Every structure is written in C-alpha cells, then in structure tokens.
C-alpha cells in the first residue's frame, strides 16, 4: 500500500505560495483574529479562495489521482479534488465564492491555528494501516507541523518506508510512483 501525505510544496508548481511565503497570513488564520477582525478575516479567506480558484493541478496531483493513491493533505487549495483524488483534508478547505456569498460566518472554512482539526483522526487511522513493505510518500510537507511529524512517525513505527519528495514534486512524484509500482510496492 502507498499513501501520500502532501503539504504546500506539492502546489508550488501550480503557482501557489506556501504560507511561509505569504507574510502575515498565519497571524490572520487564528480564532482570536477572526473574533477581533471578522471582516478582514473574511476578506483574507476570500482573497485566498480567489487565488486558489485560478490554480490548476500540476503533474504531482495528477499522478496521485491516476495511480489512485490515497491522499492525506494539509493543503486547503482543492487541487487534489480538481485532479480527481478524494483526499482527507486535515485542515479543511477554503470556501468557494458561492459558499462565501451564502454564509456570513464562513462555517466552511479552513481549520484555524490553535483549533482542533476534525479530520486528524481520519488521517491517523489511514496511516495506522501501513505495515512493513508499505510506503508513506511525503510530498512537499515540511516538518513544521506536529501532525506531519506524527504521521511520519506512525508510518515508520509500523515498518513502512517513508519517502520524502521535497523538491520538484511536479516531476519527481510520477517518477517515484512509477518506480514503486513497477517494483511491486502497491
């Protein structure tokens, strides 16, 4: 079995910056900011949604979908869905323009920093299925977050190989998948 854990690095070739490359965004995506500055929060989420709506999946997203690889993602950009995958979105997604127009409270919004993420248990449960001979393919996911480190540790503790693709995901993902699948790892 092969499972992919993806982070912002997978979407770089689709023209999306990581949060590290967007000064101030982390400070705006927390509960305190939402409560103190609801209009600016909504405007920030809307701006992110507009950027995401113009992005298209790159070959890394497409390869995961084509090979039917289960995906756990920390991204909120919706590119896995556009490519045809059905990921576990650990941090939710950014509401579409239609959803933003309907809901003033933005109930369908990314999980904020400091909030409980409702899909963590689903991601953990999937990774716990890995065993010796299986692979966790980590694509563009830094070691910045606790959840990405926990997922890596669970996979490794279960005997799975953890393969990191941190650069040129749009090229290297398909190459790694082809090698793994030809080698009989799926």
Determine the pLDDT at residue 35: 81
Given the residues 37, 61, 80, 91, select the one marked as catalytic: 91
Determine the pLDDT at residue 34: 79
Angle between helices 59-66 and 169-182 (to 10 degrees): 20
Q: What is the pLDDT of residues 69-122, one digit of tens each?
A: 999 999 888 999 999 999 999 887 776 666 666 555 555 556 666 677 778 999
CATH number of the domain enclosing 96: 3.40.50.1220
Determine the pLDDT at residue 110: 65
Determine the pLDDT at residue 112: 67
Name the pTM for this structure: 0.85
Number of domains in the chain: 1
Determine the pLDDT at residue 107: 53
- Report the alpha-carbon distance of residue 184 to residue 186 in Å, rounded: 6
Which pair of tokens denotes residue 24? 């101030």
Q: Which domain holds residue 21?
A: 2-182
Which DSSP string do the residues of the chain spell out, in sequence order?
A: -EEEEE-GGGGGGGTPPPGGGSTTHHHHSBHHHHHH-HHHHHHHHHHHHHHHHH----HHHHHHHHTT--EEE---S-HHHHHT---EETT--PPPHHHHHH-TT-SSSPPPBTS--TTHHHHHHHHTT--TT-EEEEES--S-SHHHHHHHHHHHHTT-EEEEE-S-HHHHHHHHHHHHHHTT--
- Report the alpha-carbon distance of residue 113 to residue 27 in Å, rounded: 9
Determine the pLDDT at residue 102: 59
Q: What is the pLDDT of residues 1-35, one digit of tens each?
A: 999 999 989 999 998 877 777 777 777 777 788 78
Q: 91 an active-site residue?
A: yes
- Report the alpha-carbon distance of residue 88 to residue 71 in Å, rounded: 6
Rounded to 5 degrees, φ, ψ at 8 are -60, -30
Determine the pLDDT at residue 111: 66
Determine the pLDDT at residue 37: 86
Give yes or no for residue 55 having a pLDDT over 80: yes
- Calculate mean pLDDT across residues 48-57: 86
Q: What is the pLDDT of residues 110-164, one digit of tens each?
A: 666 667 777 899 999 999 999 999 999 999 998 878 889 999 999 999 999 999 9
Poorest-confidence range of 38-47, 57-66, 106-115? 106-115
Determine the pLDDT at residue 26: 74
Determine the pLDDT at residue 23: 72
**Which among 63, 65, 58, 74 is positioned nearest to 173, based on CA atoms?**
63
């Amino acid at each position: 079995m092969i499972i992919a854990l993806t982070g912002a690095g997978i979407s770089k070739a689709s023209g999306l910056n990581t949060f590290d490359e967007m000064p101030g965004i982390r400070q705006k995506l927390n509960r305190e900011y939402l409560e103190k500055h609801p209009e600016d929060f909504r405007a920030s989420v809307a701006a992110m949604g507009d950027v995401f709506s113009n992005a298209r999946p790159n070959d890394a997203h497409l390869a995961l979908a084509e090979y039917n690889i289960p995906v756990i993602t920390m991204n909120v950009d919706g590119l896995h869905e556009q490519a045809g995958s059905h990921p576990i979105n650990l941090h939710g997604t950014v509401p579409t323009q239609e959803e933003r127009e309907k809901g003033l409270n933005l109930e369908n919004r990314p999980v904020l920093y400091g909030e409980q993420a409702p899909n963590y248990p689903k991601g953990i449960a999937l990774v716990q299925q890995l065993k010796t001979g299986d692979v966790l393919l980590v694509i563009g996911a830094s070691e910045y977050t606790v959840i990405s480190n926990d997922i890596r540790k669970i996979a490794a503790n279960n005997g799975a190989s953890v393969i990191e693709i941190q650069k040129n995901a749009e090229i290297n993902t398909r190459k790694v998948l082809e090698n793994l699948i030809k080698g009989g790892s799926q």
